[in-house]
Amino acid sequence: MQKPGEHKTRWDLVPFSELDKVAQCFTKGAEKHDDEGWKTIPNAKEKYFAAAMRHIAAYRGGQVVDTETRQSHLTCAISNLMIVNYHTGGQ
């Protein structure tokens, strides 16, 4: 039982089907590059933000699926933005 004033992360609110798609995107990236290569890319914030925007623009332009990864452009954008968030310390 949760005590008054105690705040717990509500993992039950996360749509795990979407989180699985993000994990698939990271898997594709690891197959192409390195398992955690995204952690050591120079200028990662700028590069991954630009990549996220390209995916969003492609989606807005009517392209649902990325032809290279066969993943949803929105899933790719989410994955890239997670990396940007990682590199900014979540700020």
- Per residue in 5-38, pLDDT tens? 678 999 999 999 999 999 999 999 999 889 999 9
What average pLDDT does range 61-75 have in this prediction?
A: 95
What average pLDDT does range 54-67 have in this prediction?
A: 97
CB 2 within 8 A of CB 53: no
> Percent of the chain at pLDDT above 70?
92
Q: How far apart are CA 47 and CA 49, in angstroms?
A: 6
Q: What is the CA radius of gyration of the chain?
A: 15
Domain locations in the chain as residue ranges = 16-27+42-87
Judge whether residue 61 has pLDDT over 70: yes
What average pLDDT does range 66-85 have in this prediction?
A: 95
